[in-house]
Amino acid sequence: MTVTPPPAPPPTTLPPKKSAGRNIVVVMVGTLGSRLTGIFRQQIINAFPSHLTDAFLLATRVPNTLRELLAEGALVNAFIPVYKGLDTDGRRTLAQAFSGVLIAVNLLLMALGILAAPWIASLLVPPGSPVNFELVVYMTRLLVPFLMLISLSAIAMGLLNADEHFRESSFAPVAFNLASIAVLLVTPKNATWLALGWLIGGFAQLLVQLPSLARFGLLPTPALLGHPAMRRVLVNMAPFTLTAGARQILNFYVQRLLAGPQYPSGTVTGYNNAETLFTLANGLFVVSPALAYFPRFAQQASERDWAGFRALTLTALRLVTFLAAPTSALLVALSGQAVSIFNLSHQLDQSKFRAGSGILEGWALALLPWAINTIMLRTFYARQRVREAVTVSAVGFVAEVLGYRLLTPIFGYFGFGLSTTIVGILVGSTLILMYQRRLGFPLRPLLLHLLKIVPIAALAGLAAWGVSHVLPAPGSFLPGLLGLVVAGGVGGAVYLALALALRLPELQGLLKRVRR
């Protein structure tokens, strides 16, 4: 059975196609720079007192939630597939209309966010919490303008990515981190500058992309005007926004759970440390390839080249799972060493360390199934079957949060990742079945590939775990870094050697790209 996405006028002017492999490498290098500078920023944030960092990290959830609803999620999943199906003039006009509407909505939400800050903080901070409620209110009001900055930055990044200018957009998050780091290093360690550093970083991320937009003729002039394709964008956005909104409401519940009296001060920061490391691995080895492949998926869907679409799906899945499997195994084995890099002092905050290492160890198991999900979701968005994809995602997130509630009392911090792993497998299986019914899915080649990479990844993790036990115990920066370099290096070498022995084509392809 073949899918019939909504009709779209064929593009009359297309950017020249670039090498998919080159795009992946460019995005991965940019992501690596972003994540490494992000770790440095997180190290500096961890040097602040825990009562400040807990309040700050809760307050950042507000603009980050709205960013996913209105900016990055909408652009990647709803705007780009429609944009790719238009000619040059149509793309320019749609960009103007979409950016104008998004700015107007952001202005309204900024005003509401500032006024409703006490109510928002009450959702995040339960009675009896060790987190300072008034501090969360104050920092929420300071951080709400970040939504406008990151929304404009997301528009810029989306337009560049749609035309496959990945080099120009991939390094914008590095500018965010470097600007924030500079502010935090030279200003007093107080709540005001902690929040302002975040805002200045958002401004820098937008600013560095403007010259590239102007150079490629993509810089839109925001305008409140209509466009025939806006309806299709809004139709695609609607289910995503509703289900993403439900997911973010549940995410508020998770933050409230972590800020509750049953957890000690520093738990929210430990959770964020684990999240930073997980997003580093996920962003570098999963999201970066998915981002590079997505315009190709959208183009093939627009041209209805379903044979090519299926082949690209298998290629993308093989690559991300080849990268995600060893990363998952090494993070499970070295979770304590990984979170230790955030502690630049000789004093160990046990609550922060235990929360971070326990949560990361469980989440690391989820990296492989969610790598599959990330690619599968893009195949639905590219075909403009947004409602199906986001409904499955939303149901999965509800199940994940319920799992948190059921499993954390039994397994402690590890229960967070265990729930994510179980739900990830179920969501991936559902998406593959839905894809199979529409297009036919290359299940057998994928399973054969997984049967090769999962065992050798497990052996790599065991090797790293064994080496880590003869090294200094983790807890602070130097022992953590030593464990990651030495034990992680041994585990990585084991995986590469076994992949080479099995002659896995993904390794050969990556080696060729690195040589180039």
pLDDT in tens, 34-53: 778 888 888 888 888 888 88
**Which pLDDT value is given to residue 464?**
96
Q: What is the pLDDT of residues 324-378, one digit of tens each?
A: 999 999 999 999 999 998 888 777 778 888 888 998 998 899 999 999 999 998 8
- State residue 247's pLDDT score: 60
Task: Give pLDDT tens digits for 392-409.
Answer: 887 888 888 888 888 988
Residue whose tokens read 């990945």: 166
Q: Looking at residues 500-513, what average pLDDT do you find?
A: 81
Longest dimension (CA), the chain: 65
pLDDT single digits (tens) 69-83? 655 555 556 777 787
* pLDDT over 70 at 150, yes or no: yes
Task: Specify the DSSP class assigned to residue 349.
Answer: -
Kindly provide the residue ranges of all beta strands, DSSP E only, lying in 232-276, ordered along the sequence. none
Does residue 5 surpass a pLDDT of 50?
no
- Residue position matching structure tokens 């597939």: 81
* Cα distance between residue 344 and residue 50, in whole Å: 14
Q: Locate all alpha helices (DSSP H) within 305-413, ordered by sequence.
A: 306-333, 335-340, 350-365, 367-382, 386-411
Helices (H), 79-229: 80-84, 88-115, 117-124, 133-143, 146-162, 166-170, 172-186, 191-207, 210-215
pLDDT given at position 2: 32
All structural domains of the chain with their residue ranges: 20-515
Cα 244 to chain center, whole Å? 14
Name the average pLDDT for the chain. 83
The pLDDT value given to residue 16 = 44
> pTM for this one?
0.70
pLDDT per residue as tens digits for the range 196-239: 998 999 899 889 888 888 887 777 777 777 677 777 777 766 66
Residue 193 has phi, psi (to 5 degrees) of -75, -25
| Residues 6+ away with beta carbon under 8 Å from 119 | none
